[in-house]
Structure 1
Amino acid sequence: MKNANYGASYNYKKKSTFKIKLENFFRAIRQKGRENLTVMFIPHSETKIMNFQISYAALIFAIFIIGSITVGGLYLITERNSMETKNEKISKDLLTVHSYAEGMRIEIDPLRKTANKLKEVTDNFQMVIGNREKLKTTTPGKDEGMGGPEIHEKVLPNKEDSNPQEIELKRLNTKFGFIANRLKGLNTTIEGFKGMLNDMPSIFPVLGSSMGRGYITSHFGWRRDPFTNRLTEHHGVDIVNLIGTPIVATAEGIVKNAQRGGGRGLFVEIEHKF
């Protein structure tokens, strides 16, 4: 029992010693903070010496404030540069998409003209085929209406292949068959380009109002949240216009969601292929 009391007394003394050292440490800091530091400005003429005193505590606090402002400013500048870089990249990507879409339109126009010309040729070919029977009945080489005492000696039986009109029709048939196959391939290519243009977002989603198409208030990327004022990543582009202004999808797609969401109000989520 006596030994146990001795151990408890020893622990109490040990804790008391630590507490005393801690109090002395903070007392020394407070005492040092109350001490003043004299700053003197001595001009070369030494006519008037300027000096002022500042406590160590105030000096440390001022250094802390200045350091915090400096670090915070550097961080904001870095984030702003990063946001500008991302916005420039997004703008370049949009220009690339628009240029690609415009390039495809330019390529499709000659293809459409060629398709129209081929359609005219095909229509003419159909007209020729429709008159084929009439050509057969009006061309020479048939036995009907033939007479005379020497007909079997002077006129040989004509074959269908020896008829110039029939030969020309067969040649045209082969040529237009080849053109028709090329036309099918061309039509497939045009439909593919049209499908890509329809699926690629390339138009402004606001039809317009008395104030025009509106204006962009916030781009895609990092920004200051308008509600919390915190630096957050913005997953979209904010466009301001009058209430009731019609909006459209920027391309064909599938509606994945349409509801009222927190922070976004009424919204429609559309999934595009590109």
Structure 2
Amino acid sequence: MSKHYTVLVIDDKGSPVRERVVSKRLMAALVATVCITISAIAAGGYHYTRLYRSVAEKEQMQSQIMRQRADIESQRKQLQTFAQNINELKANLISLNEFESKIRILANLEHKADQASLFAIGGSMPDDLDTDLPLKEGHDSLVRDMHTHINQVNQASAVQQNSFETLLKSLKSKRNLLASTPSLRPAKGWVSSDFGYRVSPFTGRREFHKGIDIANHQDTPIIAPADGVITYAQEKWLIGNMITIDHGYGMLTRYGHLHKMLKKKGERVKRGETIALMGNTGRSTGPHVHYEVHLNGVPVNPMHYILD
């Protein structure tokens, strides 16, 4: 059996055919080398392709991780900002509570409960959220605390709203009371007779004078010292032409010896509005207005209700 191969070499230029003798062992080695080379190239290409894909996937994952980290960092910053907003909202509620307390003091209204009752947490103010807490360590803790504080702020807001509504009603009532409280001198002039006991210029006897007399020229304007409703406007025996104003809240004022009445029964009047002109009707020693103030049906000193 032959142990070699004869290889004919033919080129395309018409050169004579050449023979080459190659041993089978060498041919086998050549074939094996070629197969190994091809396999190595194929394996290298396969591994290269896998490595290229792995590198690409790694870069993609790294890029995705970076984006996720940026999103997480942004969310953490938003949580910190939100926590700061909650702290500011609590501070604003406390300021509103203090402002309301000041208004109540100025308006002489019932004292309001303190700040602790605003949040109603065991009688003490809740601590502010720690916005400098490292979120990598206390992320879940901060979120839980934020939920707790949000509930507290919501409850405190409801309490403050109800308190403001009560305050508004009280202020409206106070405003109406102040508007209905006599505070102006009903006429220009001088006080010719004071409130209290005196000797009557007509009988010479000691009697109780229920008001004050303010004297001036006839037809001097007489004004309403507070808001109210005219409940009487006609002549009444010794006091002459008389007007009575009901101011509400148990307050009533009376004006006598008028020359001319400018308002009728049932009309509403405002503080400072002219209601009559000074006169000398009824039993009188000269032009003046007899001015009375009644509180819950009892005559009181009108000078206590003249602030101008």
TM-score norm. by structure 2 comes to 0.34
Indicate the structure (1 or 2) with the bigger Cα radius of gyration: 2
Higher share of residues assigned strand: 2
TM-score norm. by structure 1 comes to 0.37
Higher share of residues assigned helix: 1
